[in-house]
């Protein structure tokens, strides 16, 4: 199985994404400095529960500011040999012992792309997601273009067995998350310009007509009466303009590549 939602963590806020056929659609977001952070996350969770008949499970997106991306020579050729070669190369590259790091790599050549994160960062992210009942299954990232050719994978959460069906397993995504606009988001129709009607120029004293003199009504002529005059009203006209404004969020895409995990 694959989680239907992703909890996108950042230093500014928490965003919830929903899996769709063409990518991931934003459900909503809450700023970290929002006094109503807790209620806002509750609303996001309830919105997600109403969108999926399979229940709410998430993958946690670790912010890139917490991840070290680098290239390391690790020719392998086996996955186990690459893992040992990468671990050796990471000695002294971070403030942490290698045992306190989690890494993933991408590539098949002698030099591979590596994504590294501190284990304590994953623990904190899982605790936050558990506190707000987002049922986290795994840890991933959204790499910047050129830094990692797949979705960085940092393993399952410790709570994942509680949310996986009995005998079920989690299937990894090969491609990084691509955020797309909601299906009904479109550019608003252009509003036609309405040409203003110029106001009439004021009349000068010379053009103001004097009141007409009284004219005697004509006497009816004898004989056949003429056709009766017809009267008609002059109905006014009305125009209505409507605007349909919608917002489309930004999205980004990534290319997939074969990779392994550490």
Confidence band, pLDDT 50/70/90 cuts, at residue 253:
very low
Please spell the DSSP secondary structure of 154-213, one letter per residue: EEE-TTHHHHSPTT--PPPPSSPP-B---TT--PPPPPPPPPPPPPPPPPPGGGSPPPPP
Q: What is the pLDDT of residue 191?
A: 53
Write out the two tokens for 34. 């929002």
In this predicted structure, the answer to whether residue 2 has a pLDDT above a threshold of 50 is yes
Q: What is the pLDDT of residue 199?
A: 56
C-alpha distance from residue 46 to each of 4, 137, 176 (Å): 14, 18, 26
Q: Which of 206, 59, 204, 65 is nearest to 136 (CA)?
A: 59
Are β-strands 136-140 and 101-106 bridged in parallel, bridged antiparallel, or unpaired?
unpaired
Confidence band, pLDDT 50/70/90 cuts, at residue 147:
very high
Report how far residue 190's alpha carbon sits from residue 149's, in angstroms, rounded to the nearest whole number.
40
Report how far residue 64's alpha carbon sits from residue 203's, in angstroms, rounded to the nearest whole number.
72
Are β-strands 5-9 and 58-61 bridged in parallel, bridged antiparallel, or unpaired?
parallel
Q: Give 194-234 pLDDT, tens digit per residue.
A: 555 555 555 444 444 444 444 444 444 444 433 333 333 33
Q: Give 67-117 pLDDT, tens digit per residue.
A: 999 999 999 999 999 999 999 999 999 999 999 999 999 999 999 999 999
In this predicted structure, the answer to whether residue 172 has a pLDDT above a threshold of 60 is yes
C-alpha distance from residue 184 to each of 177, 180, 242, 245 (Å): 20, 11, 18, 11
Confidence band, pLDDT 50/70/90 cuts, at residue 182:
confident
Write out the two tokens for 38. 């807790």
Are β-strands 111-118 and 101-106 bridged in parallel, bridged antiparallel, or unpaired?
antiparallel
Looking at the whole model, is its pTM more than 0.75?
no
Question: Above pLDDT 70, what percent of the chain?
Answer: 70
């Amino acid at each position: 199985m694959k989680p239907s939602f992703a909890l996108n963590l950042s230093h500014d806020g928490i965003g919830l994404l929903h899996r769709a056929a063409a990518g991931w659609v934003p459900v909503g977001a809450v700023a970290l400095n929002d006094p109503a952070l807790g209620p806002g996350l509750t609303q996001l969770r309830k919105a997600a529960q109403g969108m999926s008949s399979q229940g709410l499970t998430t993958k946690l997106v670790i912010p890139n500011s917490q991840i070290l991306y680098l290239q390391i020579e690790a020719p392998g050729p086996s996955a186990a040999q690459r893992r040992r070669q990468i671990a050796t190369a990471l000695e002294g590259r971070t403030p942490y012992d290698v045992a306190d790091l989690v890494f993933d790599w991408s590539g098949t050549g002698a030099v591979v792309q590596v994504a590294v994160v501190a284990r304590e960062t994953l623990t904190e992210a899982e605790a936050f997601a558990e506190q707000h009942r987002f049922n986290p299954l795994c840890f991933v990232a959204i790499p910047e273009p050129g830094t990692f050719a797949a979705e960085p994978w940092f393993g399952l959460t410790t709570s994942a067995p509680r949310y996986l069906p009995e005998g079920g397993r989690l299937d990894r995504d090969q491609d990084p998350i691509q955020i797309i606009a909601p299906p009904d988001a479109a550019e608003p129709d252009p509003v036609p310009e309405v040409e203003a009607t110029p106001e009439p120029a004021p009349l000068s004293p010379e053009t103001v007509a004097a009141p007409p003199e009284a004219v005697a009504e004509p006497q009816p002529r004898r004989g056949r009466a003429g056709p009766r005059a017809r009267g008609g009203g002059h109905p006014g006209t009305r125009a209505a303009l409507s605007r349909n404004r919608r917002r489309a969020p930004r999205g980004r895409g990534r290319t997939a590549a074969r990779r392994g995990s550490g």
